């Protein structure tokens, strides 16, 4: 029996709800490293995961019992390339290579989709051009479901006015946007000398850019854009009361940097609840209990972070943890259901 077969056997129980009915799975958070990105990052002396293949994606989905998986380019993605022309070329190469994997999957009945990448948003024109190409019908027919962006570009959070033309394009095209944190330009000291800093920094980077989108008015202005946050939104739910108190939002409200308006407490909370939240690497009781009491229940979706997690077996163990919680008394009382979180909510988001 191969390692994949063992994982399939170990997770076979995940396919049944507590009442014995079958559960479908749609995984919105799977990574793949295309050859062009691997070559570019290796040339810069940066370590990258192995080049992704259909077989790797297929094995991961099989081990999790996933019916559909949505791929995105491994961070830092094409945005890591500084030059304008180089960044545009790399973004298109990565998009074409991963779409090739998606199309290859169709011949083997592997149901894949793709979050298309863009050049660094500092190249506003290049980012808009790639977004318009990716969200055009030919690419959607090939498997593009939306756009993946990193949480910060050149030190700017996503609500920065510099990026307004990009958000206008995303709004016009009614895009679904998946935000993913990325490696800091200046890496921090490893935690306890060994733990990679991104373990803590990725969720906090997501948190900063999420609050930036809300408090600059960006999320409110561009209502046609649906935004998905990874890892249960980082610390967004946990820090909501602290940030609201710090801003004095319980009283007079908060001034927007983009518009002559103020946000009261309920307006801020409503905006935060407009986000979609995936469960990648965030399936413990504390994370799920907080998410269930903070997010709209139809905006919580399953994500595995598969092909990024190490060691092998982590996504499978966390999927089991998630489904155990959803089936527990606490999970049932929360109002979240296994079928909604594992499949239905994401299916509606990506229609």
**What would the pLDDT profile of 257-266 be if each residue is shown by its tens digit?**
445 556 788 8
Q: What is the mean pLDDT of the chain?
A: 89
Domain-located, residue 153: yes
The percentage of the chain sitting over the pLDDT mark of 90, rounded to a whole number, equals 72
Q: Residue 81 belongs to what domain range?
A: 23-349
Mean pLDDT calculated for residue range 30-59: 89
Angle at 51 between CA 34 and CA 314, to 5 degrees: 110
Could you tell me which residues come within 8 angstroms of residue 73 by beta carbon, excluding any fewer than 6 positions away? 31, 32, 33, 34, 37, 94, 98, 115, 117, 148
Domain-located, residue 11: no
- Of residues 301 and 48, the one with the higher pLDDT is 301
**DSSP character for 51?**
P
Mean pLDDT calculated for residue range 185-204: 82
For the cut 60, the answer to whether the pLDDT of residue 316 exceeds it is yes
| pTM of the entire predicted model | 0.91
User: Tokens representing 133?
Assistant: 């190409």
Q: pLDDT band at residue 276, thresholds of 50, 70 and 90?
A: very high
User: Tokens representing 36?
Assistant: 């062009």
**What would the pLDDT profile of 143-194 be if each residue is shown by its tens digit?**
999 999 999 999 999 999 999 999 999 999 999 999 999 987 666 788 888 8
Domain-located, residue 184: yes
Burial of 51 (0-12, 13-18, 19+ CB in 10 A): middle
Q: pLDDT band at residue 7, thresholds of 50, 70 and 90?
A: very low
pLDDT value at residue 224 = 98
Rounded Cα distance, 297 and 276, in Å: 9
Q: Give the CATH number for residue 234.
A: 3.20.20.140
**DSSP character for 257?**
S
Q: pLDDT band at residue 79, thresholds of 50, 70 and 90?
A: confident
Provide the number of structural domains found in the chain: 1
Evaluate whether 46 touches 97 at the Cβ level (below 8 Å): no
Domain-located, residue 3: no
pLDDT value at residue 254 = 59
Evaluate whether 7 touches 50 at the Cβ level (below 8 Å): no
**What would the pLDDT profile of 130-153 be if each residue is shown by its tens digit?**
999 999 999 999 999 999 999 999
Domain-located, residue 165: yes
- Range ranked top by mean pLDDT from 11-15, 307-311, 342-346: 342-346
By 3-state DSSP, what share of the chain in percent is helix, strand and coil, each rounded to 5? 50, 15, 35
- Strands 262-263, 254-255: pairing is antiparallel
Rounded Cα distance, 228 and 78, in Å: 20
For the cut 70, the answer to whether the pLDDT of residue 247 exceeds it is yes
- Strands 152-153, 300-301: pairing is unpaired
Domain-located, residue 17: no
């Amino acid at each position: 029996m191969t390692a994949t077969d063992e994982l399939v056997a170990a997770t076979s129980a995940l396919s049944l709800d507590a009442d014995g009915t079958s559960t479908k799975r749609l995984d919105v958070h799977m990574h793949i490293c295309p050859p062009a990105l691997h070559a570019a990052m290796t040339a810069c002396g940066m370590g990258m995961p192995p080049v992704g293949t259909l077989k790797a994606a297929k094995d991961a989905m099989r081990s999790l019992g996933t019916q559909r998986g949505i791929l995105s380019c491994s961070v830092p993605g094409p945005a890591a390339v500084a030059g304008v022309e180089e960044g545009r070329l790399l973004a298109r190469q990565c998009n074409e290579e991963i779409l090739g994997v998606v199309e290859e999957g169709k011949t083997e009945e592997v149901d894949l989709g793709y979050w298309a990448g863009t050049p660094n948003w500092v190249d506003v024109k290049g980012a808009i051009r790639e977004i318009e190409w990716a969200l055009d019908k030919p690419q959607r027919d090939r498997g593009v479901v939306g756009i993946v962006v990193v949480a910060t570009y050149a030190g700017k959070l996503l609500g920065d006015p510099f990026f307004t033309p990009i958000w206008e394009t995303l709004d016009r095209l009614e895009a679904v946007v998946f935000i993913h944190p990325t490696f800091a330009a200046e890496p921090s000291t490893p935690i306890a000398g060994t733990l990679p800093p991104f373990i803590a920094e990725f969720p906090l980077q997501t948190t900063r850019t999420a609050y930036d989108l809300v408090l600059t008015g960006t999320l409110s202005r561009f209502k046609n854009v649906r935004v998905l946050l990874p890892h249960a939104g980082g610390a967004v739910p946990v820090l909501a009361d602290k940030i609201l108190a710090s801003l004095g939002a319980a009283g007079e409200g908060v001034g927007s940097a983009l518009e002559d308006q103020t946000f009261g407490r309920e307006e801020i909370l409503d905006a935060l609840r407009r986000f979609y939240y995936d469960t990648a690497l965030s399936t413990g009781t504390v994370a799920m209990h907080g998410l269930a009491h903070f997010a709209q229940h139809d905006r919580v979706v399953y994500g595995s972070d598969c092909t990024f997690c190490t060691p092998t077996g982590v996504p499978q163990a966390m999927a089991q943890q998630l489904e155990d919680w959803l089936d527990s008394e606490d999970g049932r009382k929360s109002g979240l259901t296994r079928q909604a979180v594992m499949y239905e909510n994401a299916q509606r988001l990506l229609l």
